[in-house]
A and B are shown apart, each in its own frame.
Chain A
Amino acid sequence: MTTHRLYTRAVRRESHSPRTLAVAIPVIVLLLVLLWAGAEIVLELLRQPALLAAPTDWTSGLAGISELDPVWLGVAGAVAVILALVLLGLGLGAGRTGKRHRIDEAAAVIVDDRVVAGSLALSASRAADIDRGQVRVTIGRSTADVEITPTSGVPVDAELIRSALMAELERFRFEPALRVAIRVNTKGTVSP
């Protein structure tokens, strides 16, 4: 039971992006600002010259910000907004890294979506007897989009491909499960 929980945690860690960096950078910046402020206060108390600005000048300095060039103020504001949106996105987004998993009794398996896409493309090309280059697979969160370019004059049986791919996914039993969507291009290729 405990191994299962361990696997679940490992899988979760592997299939979602860590936010360590996104947390660490703002925290370090905040820490540096606080350290600087503390140093300025101590220097003020010791009646020593300030490093950048004495604490007594801070409020007037902030009030004087409106006297700066509005263009630069706008740029700085835009940068701050973008930074805020990026951090919000990182924090609230799902942070999926495009991986599937399967937890068995003996092992946990984590597979990159690109590997699944390659495997599906190979199976599709075999099922339809077409070149590997005539199949393009794009994997979304819950759908595998399979785009087939037929050989001119050779009809493609989409149902045959669908059943082959579904049988393969059935065998993999990966989570989150994938649906198969097959699209056959109207324009074929004379010689693949």
Chain B
Amino acid sequence: MSAHAARVPGERSPGRTRISAQALNRVAVQAAAEALGVPAGRVRTSVSDEGGLVVLTVTAPAPLPELGRPPAGGPGLLERAEEARGALGARFSALTGRRVGRVDLELSGTSVRQERRVR
């Protein structure tokens, strides 16, 4: 809403700022990586349009706790993925000022969260 108020004619400085599709993609990748807790290098996203709203399509590895550790008893994988899906849409929206209509998340492969590397 504040972004909208800034678009009153005459109050803006001349010129326009546009965000390239590539930049939007990078933001989506970063938001997804942060929300899921997986390395950004393994996240693929595409930004498209549906009815004038942004659609994010994210392919990322499923975040798994370190193998050999006892299950923490927290939320399951699907619940955490759903939570991350909502969080990354909100984060993208907050960073770019674009309204997100839909986020599609596909978990492909796994990413084991390692607390520290054993040499």
Contacts and interface: CB of A to CB of B under 8 A. Distances in A.
Interface in B81-102: 93, 96-101
Contacts of A190: 21, 24, 47-49, 54
Interface stretch (A15-23, A96-104, A181-189): A181-189
B9 A131 contact: no
A191 B51 contact: no
Contacts of B9: 126-127, 160, 164
Contacts of A150: 52
Interface string B1-28: 0001001010010001011110010000
Given A129-B7, A131-B16, A191-B19, A154 B99 contact: yes
Contacts of A187: 49-52
B112 interface: no
Contacts of A128: 7
28 contacts: A128-B7, A129-B12, A152-B47, A152-B48, A152-B49, A152-B53, A153-B52, A153-B93, A153-B96, A153-B97, A153-B99, A153-B100, A153-B101, A154-B98, A154-B99, A155-B52, A155-B99, A186-B51, A187-B49, A188-B51, A188-B52, A189-B49, A190-B48, A190-B49, A191-B18, A191-B20, A191-B21, A192-B18
Size category of the B interface is: 20 to 34
Q: What are the 3 tightest A-B residue pairs by CB atom distance, in nearest-first order?
A: A153-B98, A191-B21, A153-B54
Contacts of A192: 18
B16 A152 contact: no
A152 B48 CA distance: 8
A66 B41 CA distance: 85
Contacts of A186: 51-52
Nearest to B47: A190
A158 to B, nearest CB: 12
Contacts of A129: 7, 12, 16
Residue among A127, A150, A153, A186 facing the most chain B CB atoms (10 A cut-off): A153
Residue among B7, B52, B101 facing the most chain A CB atoms (10 A cut-off): B52
Contacts of B93: 153
A152 B101 CA distance: 9
Contacts of B51: 186-188
Contacts of B20: 191
Given A152-B47, A153-B96, A155-B99, 20 more contacts: A128-B7, A129-B12, A131-B18, A152-B49, A152-B54, A153-B54, A153-B93, A153-B101, A154-B98, A156-B52, A184-B52, A186-B52, A188-B51, A188-B53, A190-B21, A190-B24, A190-B47, A190-B54, A191-B19, A191-B24
